[in-house]
Amino acid sequence: MQDERKGDIVTEQAEGAEERPARRRGRRPADEVRADVFRVVGEVLMTEGIADLTFERVARLSGVSKTTLYKWWPSKGALALDGYFHAVEETLAFEDTGDLRADLLSQLRAFVRVMTRTPAGRVVTELIGQSQTDEDLATAFRSLYSSERRRLAGERLLRAKEQGQLRDDVDVRVLVDQLWGAVYHRMLIPDEPVTDDFVTALVSNLVEGITPRPEPPAQRNS
């Protein structure tokens, strides 16, 4: 059974983050510097949201200069999106057990838990909203977050097609939109709740319509 905790993002509380002094070291590897930035951005986003995220604050808490931050991220939105992606990346990984229906249910349930039971849902809706007026954020959202999420889901569905679990004429890109797009729609236009019953219905309705059709029985000669 999948560990129920997998769908929950575990983040450190940022209340004490302001008291942590910025680290003063010699030149550090770029990967280490980025990891510190991602950690700080993730903490701020998951506890306070994007409104309180600034380059100055991230620089102070991570020990990374503002010059470096501006060199790597052209806007606050792009910085927030990168930190958000790394905060949820492991939690939203797509398993492949060989059972397409089970894997779709498992991933969508993990996704819904993150979006509805942690601050991540609020953060991503804020990012989507800001991306409408922040071109750098919109570009980063497509290239880093949405494209990557679509790629992972598409690869799993393509493997299912290769194994004969999907018809050859099925467009997996459309399937991704039908499943995850439906969840985003309910998040952004909350006329109806995003529940486990909703996820189960999504997968059931889709799978019953895309699995290979049984061969008709052979006609007997009279």
Rounded-to-integer distance, Cα 9 and Cα 134, Å: 27
Rounded-to-integer distance, Cα 22 and Cα 1, Å: 42
Q: For residue 81, give the amino acid letter.
A: L
pTM: 0.70
Q: Determine the pLDDT at residue 68.
A: 93
Q: For residue 221, what pLDDT band results from cuts at 50, 70 and 90? A: low
Which residues touch 75 (CB under 8 Å, ≥6 apart)? 134, 136, 137
Q: Write the CA distances from 30 to 187, 195, 213, integer angstroms.
A: 36, 41, 52
Residue 7 has pLDDT above 50, yes or no: no
Q: For residue 66, what pLDDT band results from cuts at 50, 70 and 90? A: very high
- Give 95 or 218, the one with higher predicted confidence: 95
Q: For residue 36, what pLDDT band results from cuts at 50, 70 and 90? A: very high
Name the nearest CA neighbour of 76 among 119, 136, 122.
Answer: 136
Q: Determine the pLDDT at residue 188.
A: 85
Q: Determine the pLDDT at residue 219.
A: 64
Burial environment of residue 116 by CB neighbours within 10 A (0 to 12, 13 to 18, 19 or more)? middle
Q: Determine the pLDDT at residue 164.
A: 92
String of DSSP letters for 47-107: HH-GGG--HHHHHHHHT--HHHHHHH-SSHHHHHHHHHHHHHTTTT-----S-HHHHHHHH
Q: Determine the pLDDT at residue 134.
A: 85
Mean pLDDT of 33-44: 93
